[in-house]
Amino acid sequence: EKWRTRRKILTPAFHFNVLEEFVHSFVEHTDRLVETMKAEAESGEVVRDLSAMYSKITLDTIC
């Protein structure tokens, strides 16, 4: 029963129309991530920990 109450609260937040408003932001921040990853790849160094990049894009996207 708990999950049903929580689902009723969360479901509207993930409705297609709501998410559609954020597509531009998702694309913009993903493009930045791709550019950062390209720069890292061109530097010749092996990136072993992507968590810092992923954390940054996640926070940039939701904030």
Query: Is residue 46 one of the residues assigned to a domain?
Result: yes
Query: Is residue 4 one of the residues assigned to a domain?
Result: no
Query: Is residue 7 one of the residues assigned to a domain?
Result: no
> For the chain, what's the residue count?
63
Query: Is residue 52 one of the residues assigned to a domain?
Result: yes
Whole-number pLDDT of residue 11: 87
Distances (CA, A) of 36 to 19, 27, 29, 50, 59: 25, 14, 11, 11, 16
4 pLDDT band, cuts 50/70/90, is very high
Number of domains composing the chain: 1
Single pTM value for the model: 0.65
The Cα 22–Cα 61 span in angstroms is: 9
Whole-number pLDDT of residue 17: 82
Whole-number pLDDT of residue 6: 92
Whole-number pLDDT of residue 3: 92
- DSSP symbols for 18-57: HHHTTHHHHHHHHHHHHHHHHHHHHTT------HHHHHHH
Q: Print the domain residue range for 50.
A: 23-63
Q: Encode pLDDT of 14-37 as tens digits.
A: 888 878 888 999 999 999 999 999
